[in-house]
Chain A
Amino acid sequence: QSVLTQPPSASGTPGQRVTFSCSGSNSNIGSDTVNWYQQLPGTAPKLLIYSNDQRPSGVPARFSGSKSGTSASLAISGLQSEDEADYYCAAWDASLNGRIFGTGTKVTVL
């Protein structure tokens, strides 16, 4: 059972900035770092952000992450058509003693 809550959808026009959240609790986001994954249609997930705000090599600078308290956010600046995908946050949960994923946010480029 997932306990990281994300909005089901987000959208924007090309070039816009889109931001969406990942809400958790003290036992997960409040006590661990957050990673974000991008899943393009029909493909495997890809690491987008690790340790709250770090971009792996090869990830464009228009993707950025942040964390405050028990919530995290992902921002996409200069939205592009190829950014249409599902996005998931993830963190370790100390109470469950396991990893949990967010409910996922589907980004649509209008």
Chain B
Amino acid sequence: EVQLLESGGGLVQPGGSLRLSCAASGFTFSSYAMSWVRQAPGKGLEWVSTISASVSGGKTYYAASVKGRFSISRDTSTNNLYLQMNSLRVEDTAIYYCAPPDLPAPIPWGQGTLVTVSS
């Protein structure tokens, strides 16, 4: 079955850290760029980060709002995508989605994992 399953969200204090995971299955994970997209409560979608396919060197890209604080990575041996989030701020509170590549045979987005940054 083709699916993405996020985990690792939770409540964290400002300045804290959290590591999100996304388990991918049913497609050739290493062949595609993968991204994280977030959605603050009641707000629109915001792109967070992208990592290119392994064959493209696994290049990483970040939104200005998270650059220097977040780090995206992937483990092709276990088909997992990660987002290490440091120095978290209240404004990082959101549902974080592991976003699949946009393909003709689409891969469904995961259900997301909620990150709440609050004291």
Contacts from A to B (Cβ < 8 Å): 1-2, 35, 37, 39, 44-47, 50, 54, 56-58, 86, 88, 90, 96-104
On whether the beta carbons of B44 and A99 are closer than 8 Å, the reply is: no
Q: A44-B97, A44-B111, A45-B97 are in contact. Are A98 and B106 (CB under 8 A)?
A: no
Q: A44-B112, A45-B97, A46-B108 are in contact. Are A103 and B102 (CB under 8 A)?
A: no
For A90, the chain B residues whose CB sits under 8 A away are: 45, 47
For B99, the chain A residues whose CB sits under 8 A away are: 45
On whether the beta carbons of A47 and B45 are closer than 8 Å, the reply is: no
Chain A CB within 8 A of B55 CB: no
On whether the beta carbons of A45 and B47 are closer than 8 Å, the reply is: no
On whether the beta carbons of B46 and A46 are closer than 8 Å, the reply is: no
With CB as the reference atom, state the residue of chain A lying closest to B99. Answer: A45
Query: What are 13 inter-chain pairs, A to B, with CB distance below 8 A?
Result: A39-B45, A44-B97, A44-B109, A46-B106, A50-B102, A56-B103, A56-B104, A88-B44, A90-B47, A97-B61, A98-B50, A103-B44, A104-B45
Per the bound structure, the CA–CA distance linking A57 and B62 in Å amounts to 30
Per the bound structure, the CA–CA distance linking A97 and B63 in Å amounts to 8
On whether the beta carbons of A56 and B47 are closer than 8 Å, the reply is: no
With CB as the reference atom, state the residue of chain A lying closest to B67. Answer: A98
Q: A35-B102, A44-B111, A57-B104 are in contact. Are A104 and B44 (CB under 8 A)?
A: yes
User: What's the minimum C-beta distance from B83 to chain A, rounded to whole angstroms?
Assistant: 15
For A35, the chain B residues whose CB sits under 8 A away are: 102
Q: A44-B110, A98-B62 are in contact. Are A37 and B103 (CB under 8 A)?
A: no
Q: List residues of B (27-56) whose CB comes within 8 Å of A's CBs.
A: 35, 37, 44-47, 50
Q: A44-B109, A45-B109 are in contact. Are A98 and B103 (CB under 8 A)?
A: no
On whether the beta carbons of B109 and A101 are closer than 8 Å, the reply is: no
On whether the beta carbons of B45 and A45 are closer than 8 Å, the reply is: yes
On whether the beta carbons of A47 and B106 are closer than 8 Å, the reply is: yes
On whether the beta carbons of A98 and B108 are closer than 8 Å, the reply is: no
